[in-house]
């Protein structure tokens, strides 16, 4: 389906919106004020079209997914962030820690099913030494050298640096030597100090998160970026978050994808309400328009739900993440999405969104196009 963008504008009376749309068509960078205006605008369909117009220029009709598995080796965590229902104390009856054998067995199942990526992150337990993080990566990579290990958030890397008294660079070099291929985007939450002090006062701050990614990019380790939205942050703070990511991306080019994560409140100390579908779609679209230096925007079906994620593929997103198998973090907070999806289901969701399903690897290299 061809997008005739000029036709969309005929329905819009808002002059400021049209000015911003012109900027997009002329491939001019949007300002923070523009992004804020779009967040506040109620021209949802026009906003979606505009974002989709940009996405089609970058990704054509392709919408990506990956055969992957999430592994969370433990939910024991020293940080106890108020937005998180996954991390518990060691004494909590829900506390668990997977053995190395269990982990390797899960990796093997995924590998046998054609899996391309292990996404491994977890709680941060006080009793784990630095070597434990290296050992898990090394164990997976030495048994399954073909599988991509995307592991440990910047928060975990910061923690490793703290307990080992090493620099981010030393830690990341050693993780890379152990077999780490990429960093996931988790732990960014919201960069605003005001909001971060409310939802996650104890863990690494925004500067530390960004510095870990900066150093990773310098060492040739690509990474992803996230933003947790829909809790206590303002729209200005969302834009500030996007702006910091765009700045680093200008500097390094090492981010592969941006993933807005809709907040789920169930079982968290923070509480609150779920985001609306309109907010979810606006956030996808504004991210696509503002982050002109990011190639990909992920509609994470776990937080959006399968239906909104599918619509998001026409609001600027070009990726659904993957089969996942066993998502635990957002399920602890009440998401009603499945724990994992088959390839058939992801292909079906993408096809019915009018896009061409493309299986990818972690680095967005095409594995298979489902014509």
CB 368 within 8 A of CB 73: no
Could you tell me which residues come within 8 angstroms of residue 345 by beta carbon, excluding any fewer than 6 positions away? none
165: number of Cβ within 10 Å: 8
321 touches ligand V47 (CB under 6 A): yes
- 3-state class of 19 per DSSP? helix
Only segment of 96-104, 105-113, 179-187, 281-289 that touches ligand V47 (CB under 6 A): 179-187
Position among 71, 172, 330, 347 found at the interface with ligand V47 (CB under 6 A): 330
- What's the sign of the alpha-carbon dihedral 198, 79, 210, 231? negative
- According to DSSP, the β-strands at 223-229 and 148-151 are unpaired
226 touches ligand V47 (CB under 6 A): yes
Nearest-angstrom CA–CA distance, 307 and 262: 14
Could you tell me which residues are beta bridge partners of residue 199? none
Closest to ligand V47 by CB, 48 vs 186, is 186
Nearest-angstrom CA–CA distance, 13 and 36: 18
85 touches ligand V47 (CB under 6 A): yes
83 touches ligand V47 (CB under 6 A): yes
224 touches ligand V47 (CB under 6 A): yes
Burial zone of 4 (CB within 10 Å; 0-12 exposed, 13-18 middle, 19+ buried):
exposed
Residue 338 CB, shortest distance to ligand V47, in Å, is: 14
Only segment of 57-65, 72-80, 221-229, 284-292 that touches ligand V47 (CB under 6 A): 221-229
Q: What is the pattern of x (binds ligand V47, CB under 6 A) and - over residues 264-293?
A: x---x-------------------------
Q: Under rule CB under 6 A, how many of the chain's residues touch ligand V47?
A: 22
Query: Which residue is associated with the tokens 């998502």?
Result: 327
308 touches ligand V47 (CB under 6 A): no
Closest to ligand V47 by CB, 19 vs 339, is 339
294 touches ligand V47 (CB under 6 A): no
**Binding residues vs ligand V47 (CB under 6 A):** 83-85, 184-187, 189, 224, 226, 228, 259, 261, 263-264, 268, 300, 303, 321, 329-330, 333
């Amino acid at each position: 389906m061809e997008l005739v963008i000029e036709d969309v504008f005929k329905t819009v009376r808002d002059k400021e919106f049209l000015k911003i749309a012109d900027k997009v068509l002329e491939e001019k960078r949007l300002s923070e004020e523009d992004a804020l205006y779009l967040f506040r605008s109620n021209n949802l369909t026009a906003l979606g079209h505009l974002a989709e117009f940009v996405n089609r220029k970058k990704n054509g009709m392709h919408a990506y997914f990956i055969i992957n598995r999430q592994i969370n080796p433990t939910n024991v965590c020293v940080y106890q962030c108020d937005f998180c229902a996954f991390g518990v104390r060691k004494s909590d009856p829900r506390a668990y820690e997977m053995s190395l054998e269990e982990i390797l067995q899960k990796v093997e199942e995924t590998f046998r099913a054609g899996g391309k990526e292990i996404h491994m992150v977890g709680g941060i337990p006080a009793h784990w030494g630095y070597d434990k993080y290296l050992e898990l990566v090394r164990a997976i990579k030495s048994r399954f050298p073909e599988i991509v290990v995307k592991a440990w958030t910047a928060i975990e890397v910061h923690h490793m640096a703290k307990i080992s008294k090493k620099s981010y660079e030393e830690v990341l070099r050693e993780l890379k030597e152990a077999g780490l291929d990429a960093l996931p985007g988790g732990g960014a939450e919201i960069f605003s100090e005001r909001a971060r002090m409310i939802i996650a006062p104890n863990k690494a701050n925004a500067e530390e998160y960004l510095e870990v990614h900066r150093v990773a990019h310098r060492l040739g380790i690509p990474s992803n970026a996230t933003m947790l939205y829909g809790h206590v942050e303002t729209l200005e703070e969302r834009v500030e978050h996007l702006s910091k990511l765009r700045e680093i991306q200008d500097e390094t080019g090492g981010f592969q994808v941006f993933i807005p994560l809709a907040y789920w409140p169930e079982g968290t100390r923070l509480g609150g309400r779920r985001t609306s579908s309109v907010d979810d779609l606006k956030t996808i679209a504004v991210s696509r328009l503002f982050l002109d230096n990011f190639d990909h925007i992920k509609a994470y079906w776990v937080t959006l739900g399968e239906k909104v994620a599918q619509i998001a593929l026409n609001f600027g997103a070009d990726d659904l993440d993957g089969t996942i198998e066993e998502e635990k973090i957002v399920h602890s907070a009440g998401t009603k999405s499945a724990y994992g999806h088959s390839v058939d289901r992801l292909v079906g969701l993408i096809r019915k969104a009018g896009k061409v399903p493309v299986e990818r690897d972690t680095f967005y290299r095409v594995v298979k196009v489902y014509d």
